[in-house]
Amino acid sequence: MTTPPNISVIIPSNHSQHDLLKIIDAVCCQTVKPVEIILIDSSDGCGACPAKVAVLCKASGIELFYESRAQAFPGAARNIGLGLCNGEVIAFIDVQTIPQPNWLEASLTLLENEGVMGIFGATSFSAETSFERLARDAFFGVLPRKTLPGSVFRREVFVKTGHFIDEARAGEDIEWMGRLDLLNIPSFYLASTLIDYVGLTSLNLIKLLKKWYRNYYASRNLPYLYPQKLFLWIVLYPLIIFIAFSWNNIIAGWRVDSSLYIGHVTKIAITLPPLFYVFIRGILLPWRRGVGSSRLFPIRFIAIASLCFLADTIKAIAFSIPQRKQAKDFKE
Domain architecture of the chain: domains with CATH? 7-201 (3.90.550.10), 223-320 (no CATH)
| Contact of 302 with 310, CB cutoff 8 Å | no
> How do 118-125 and 145-154 pair as beta strands?
antiparallel
How far apart, in Å, are the Cα atoms of 287 and each of 138, 192, 196, 303, 312? 10, 18, 21, 15, 19
Q: Which of 86, 218, 82 is nearest to 163 (CA)?
A: 82
Dihedral sign for Cα 73, 75, 79, 81, please. Answer: positive
Confidence check: pLDDT of 328 > 50: no
Q: What is the pLDDT of residues 127-142, one digit of tens each?
A: 999 999 999 999 999 9
Mean pLDDT value across residues 143-169: 90
| Rounded CA separation 153/175 (Å) | 16
Confidence check: pLDDT of 307 > 90: yes
**Mean pLDDT across the chain:** 83
pTM summary value: 0.82
| Contact of 11 with 56, CB cutoff 8 Å | no
Which DSSP helix (H) or strand (E) runs through 60? helix 51-60
Amino acid letter at 311? Answer: A
Q: Which of 14, 27, 12, 20 is nearest to 78 (CA)?
A: 12
Q: What is the pLDDT of residues 226-283, one digit of tens each?
A: 566 555 555 555 655 655 556 556 666 656 667 666 665 565 665 667 788 889 899 9
Residues 6+ apart with CB under 8 A from 148: 92, 120, 121, 173, 174, 176, 177
| Rounded CA separation 245/243 (Å) | 6
